[in-house]
Structure 1
Amino acid sequence: MAFDLDNLRVFLAAIDHGSFSAAARALGRVPSAVSMTIAHLEAELDLPLFDRAGREPVPTPQALALVPQARRLAEQFGQLNRHALSMTQGLEPSLVIAVAPELVAATPWSDALTTLSTEFPLLEIEVLTAPQADALAMLKSGRAQLALVFERQGLDPSEQFQEVARETLVAVVAASHPMLAREPSALRDEHLIAERQILVAGRDACDVDKRISVSRVQWRTDSPVAALRMVSAGLGWAWLPSGFVRAALASGELAQIPAGNFTTALQLYVDVVWTQARPLGLAARRFVELLNGRSGCSGAIASDRAAPAVSAAAFSAFSDNAPDLASRSAAPPRAGKRRSSAASG
């Protein structure tokens, strides 16, 4: 075998420093050892790598042709060593992150991945999109180490989490929908309840978030993209993240529903969640730290969480068969929610 890690380093040092003696000083060796290593490499390759006719050895065209690949190999060796060292410090072999699909375009989580790719270039990362309930189920099954989801209605003692962002859900409808023919002040909760709602929810039929379940007639999908298409087609209205529908609102394809007696905007926190049963590895902790660094939530505590911006009085006249939405605004914030840190996980 011609090239190995040692003679590769010597070869590149001779190229970079312009002489065997300078390469020897850089490597902490004697010049004769560098000269001998290069001579043995030339013999094994049966290639002249340096022209020794002058005062200092000059790289041959063959040597210069090898340099780009030699540098790539040296960098790969360095990455391998750094990766192995990181693993001894707790770096996991791979990182799986489940993301609620509504947050894929709305939350800048990919910036954190860019930093991770630089700090841990050999780490394998998998990003899965799944409805919120399914993403949380992936945590409990061990399929994913982290889930990026909207805040839940209650605390699960098996979970730890960190608030990393806020997102506003807005009630939207196709700009051509008959609902918009009414004067904004005349559009009331009973009209919204009577219209078909396109609901983004998990695959379990029992999985319904009462904070956003409004209409008596609902069509469900596990994809916000599908929901957006159905709303654009005039099939119903939906709560969707403001960042997700910004372009459609700006183009006039969709309109935010005006209302006379309630607010059609609901601000929720975005959490990165993990399970207490599986402590986070080095990369997962770093991902949480990076997300929290981008957050506008620093310093917030659980009791500061405001109730959803929907008037409870607006829904007080619901019939017995209507969804119980008064509870979503009357419910207190998540009491005692901890400001978990990656270090604690």
Structure 2
Amino acid sequence: EDALQMLLDQSAQLALMFEREQLDSREQFVELKREALVPVIAQGHALAQFEQISFEQMVQTRQIVVASRNHSIKPELLFSKDYWRTDNHHSACMMIIRNLGWGVLPLEMFNENPELKKKLKVLELYDFTPKFEYYVDLVWSRESELGVAARFLIEHIRQLRQQPRK
């Protein structure tokens, strides 16, 4: 929500955003990639000792949620009644590592930083498979004049998308 607002008030030309349920008529996008989000907890947390946990156990534990700075907007992927908010996945990761709660993080973070596998555990649930897949989009405002670099990047991504997938 914050990134979209920055595009619309022209304080940013481009934004990387997870797919949205509803598109604003003023936005344009090109899809970059699919990203999996998984629930994680610090290895030292009591819930990490279990092979699988129930949904009830998860929702009764504080959740670290990545959400808009605007507190009137309800966060997506919010399960717990007790939760803390932050506006990015990296600070959420640091809060989770410090045993402040569990949270949903991009699986790509584990590939970027293999040390996280030693510090965090992906939660396995009895009740459902807790892997959420979203597309990541490069988004811009239809109402803004894009600079040369922004237009180049958009065109480059479009060309990559036209290449055969392996």
TM-score range, shorter chain: 0.7 to 0.9
User: Could you tell me which residue of structure 1 aligns to residue 81 of structure 2?
Assistant: 216
Aligned partner of 2:50 in structure 1 is: 182
- Paired residue type of 2:5: A
Deviation at 1:289, TM superposition (A): 2.0
Give a deviation string over 1:302-326, Cα, whole Å, max 9, x none: xxxxxxxxxxxxxxxxxxxxxxxxx
Matches within 5 A, 1:282-293: 282-293=148-159
Aligned residues of 1:165 and 1:296 also touching (Cα < 8 A) = no
- The separation in 1 between residues aligned to 2:82 and 2:163, in whole angstroms, is 36
- 1:293 and 1:240 map into 2 onto residues whose CA distance is 29
Residue of structure 2 equivalent to 1:275: 141
Give 2:122's aligned residue: 256
Instruction: For 1:195, give the aligned amino acid.
Output: T
Indicate the percent of aligned positions where both proteins have the same amino acid.
37
1:139 corresponds to 2:7: yes
Amino acid at match of 1:176: G
Contact 2:65/2:75, CA 8 A, preserved across alignment: no
**Distance in 2 between residues matched to 1:296 and 1:257, nearest whole Å:** 36
Give the letter aligned to residue 277 of structure 1: E
TM-fit CA distance, 1:145 = 1.4
Gaps of 5+ in 2: none
Q: CA deviation at 1:194?
A: 0.8
Pairwise CA distance, 1:156 = 1.1
Residues 204 and 295 of structure 1, relative CA distance in 2, 3 Å threshold: same
After superposition, the Cα gap between the structure-2 partners of 1:260 and 1:162, relative to the gap in structure 1 and judged at 3 Å, is same
CA apart distance, 1:206: 1.9
Given candidates 7, 10, 16, the residue that maps to 1:148 is 16
- Cα pair 1:197 1:217 within 8 Å, conserved: yes
Alpha carbons 1:165, 1:271 under 8 Å: kept: yes
Query: 1:159: how far off?
Result: 1.0
**Matches of 1:201 and 1:236 in 2, distance apart?**
15
Instruction: Determine the C-alpha separation between the residues in 1 that align with 2:141 and 2:40.
Output: 34
Where structure 1 has 5 or more consecutive residues not aligned to the other structure, the ranges are 1-132, 300-345
Task: Tell me by how many angstroms 1:282 deviates.
Answer: 3.6
Q: 1:217, 1:137 → 2: CA distance? A: 27
The 1:183/1:245 distance shift into structure 2, 3 A limit, reads: closer
Structure 1 vs Structure 2 CA RMSD: 2.2
Aligned positions of 1:165-244 closer than 5 A = 165-184=33-52, 187-210=53-76, 212-244=77-109
What is the number of equivalent residue pairs in this alignment? Answer: 163
TM-score w.r.t. the length of structure 2 is: 0.87
Whole-angstrom CA distance in 2 between matches of 1:239 and 1:294? 29
The 3-state SS of whatever aligns with 2:152 is helix
CA distance in 2, matches of 1:257, 1:271: 27
Deviation of the 1:248 alpha carbon: 3.7
CA deviation string 1:257-293 (max 9, x = no partner): 0111111211110111111212434432211122344
Q: Distance in 1 between matches of 2:89 and 2:42?
A: 15
Q: Structure 1 residue 226: deviation in Å?
A: 2.0
Please state if 1:164 is matched with 2:29: no
What letter matches 1:223 in structure 2?
N
Contact 1:249–1:256 under 8 Å retained in 2: no
Partner of 1:303: none
Q: Higher helix share goes to which structure?
A: 1
Distance 1:236 1:293, change over 3 A: farther
Q: Relative to total residues, which structure has the larger strand share, 1 or 2?
A: 2
Deviations 1:163-208 (A, max 9, x none): 1111111111001211123341xx1211111110001112111223
Amino acid of the structure 2 residue aligned with 1:242: L
> How far apart, in 2, do the equivalents of 1:236 and 1:282 lie?
43
